[in-house]
């Protein structure tokens, strides 16, 4: 247990090893560890962000879906409305057309009737005249009695 040169030797060795550790051992190990720590922290942060993003996306998708449903309902609604409108229009058009055709037919019938009546009247006039001629036995001057005949015919 003597104090001797070993003391000096140990002091030198001490500084030698401390220097070596400080120069070659500590910096790379601690740098690698810090880098790994950072990597892990980044990874965790990214995972967090991703799950947050997923949540957002799901929310957005849900919203879009709701919107689309709403839109679809609107389209169907307006289509229905349009269809009933078209049917209504067609109905009105048909009624109008029918009315028109009916009126035209009525007019024609009236016209035909009038015409037939005229013809009939003319023939009655002629017949009357002929009858009268026979009754009177004399020729009735057609020109002289035209007024009379015509008056008669008009009275028929």
Partner 1 sequence: MAGENQTVSEYIVHHLTNLTYGKLPAGYERYDGSIVGDGGAWVMAHGGAEAAAMGFTAIHVDSMAWSIGLGILFSWLFYRVAKKASSGVPSGLTSAVEMIVQFVDNTVRDTFHGRNPLIAPLSLTIFVWIFLMNLMDLVPVDVVPELMMALGVEYHKIVPSTDPNITFGMAIGVLILILYYSIKVKGFGFARELAMNPFNHPLFIPVNLFMEIVGLLAKPFSLALRLFGNMYAGEMIFILIAALFSAGLAWMVPAGLLQIGWAIFHILVITLQAFIFMVLTIVYLSMAHEDH
13 counts as binding partner 1 under rule CB under 8 A: yes
With respect to partner 1, which residue has the nearer C-beta, 15 or 64?
15
14 counts as binding partner 1 under rule CB under 8 A: yes
With respect to partner 1, which residue has the nearer C-beta, 1 or 136?
1
Dist CA 5 CA 61 (whole Å): 81
User: What letter would DSSP give residue 138?
Assistant: S
Of 28-36, 58-66, 120-128, 130-138, which part binds partner 1 (CB under 8 A)?
A: 28-36
Interface with partner 1 in residues 35-54 (CB under 8 A): 35-36, 38-39
Neighbours of 149 (CB within 10 A): 17
Neighbours of 144 (CB within 10 A): 9
String marking each residue 109-148 x if it binds partner 1 according to CB under 8 A: ----------------------------------------
Of 25-33, 90-98, 111-119, 136-144, which part binds partner 1 (CB under 8 A)?
A: 25-33
With respect to partner 1, which residue has the nearer C-beta, 24 or 68?
24
Minimum CB distance to partner 1, residue 41 (Å) = 12
DSSP three-state, residue 79: helix
Give the Cα-Cα-Cα angle 98, 101, 105 (nearest 5 degrees): 135
Cβ contacts of residue 142 below 8 Å, gap of 6+? 129, 149
Dist CA 139 CA 67 (whole Å): 101
How is residue 64 written in tokens?
Answer: 């879009």
The count of chain residues that interact with partner 1, using the rule CB under 8 A, is: 34
Minimum CB distance to partner 1, residue 27 (Å) = 8
Dist CA 57 CA 61 (whole Å): 6
Q: Binding residues for partner 1, per CB under 8 A?
A: 1-11, 13-18, 20-22, 24-33, 35-36, 38-39
């Amino acid at each position: 247990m003597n104090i001797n040169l070993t003391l000096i030797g140990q002091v030198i060795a001490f500084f030698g090893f401390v220097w070596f550790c400080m120069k070659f051992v500590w910096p790379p190990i601690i740098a690698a560890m810090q880098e790994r720590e950072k990597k892990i922290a980044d990874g965790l942060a990214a995972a967090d962000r991703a799950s947050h993003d997923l949540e957002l996306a799901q929310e957005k998708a849900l919203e879009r879906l709701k919107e689309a449903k709403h839109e679809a309902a609107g389209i169907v609604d307006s289509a229905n409305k349009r269809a009933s409108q078209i049917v209504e229009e067609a109905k009105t058009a048909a009624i109008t057309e029918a009315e028109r055709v009916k009126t035209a037919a009525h007019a024609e019938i009236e016209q035909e009737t009038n015409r037939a009546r005229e013809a009939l009247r003319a023939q009655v006039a002629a017949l009357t005249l002929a009858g009268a001629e026979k009754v009177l036995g004399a020729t009735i001057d057609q020109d002289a009695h035209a007024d009379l005949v015509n008056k008669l015919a008009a009275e028929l």
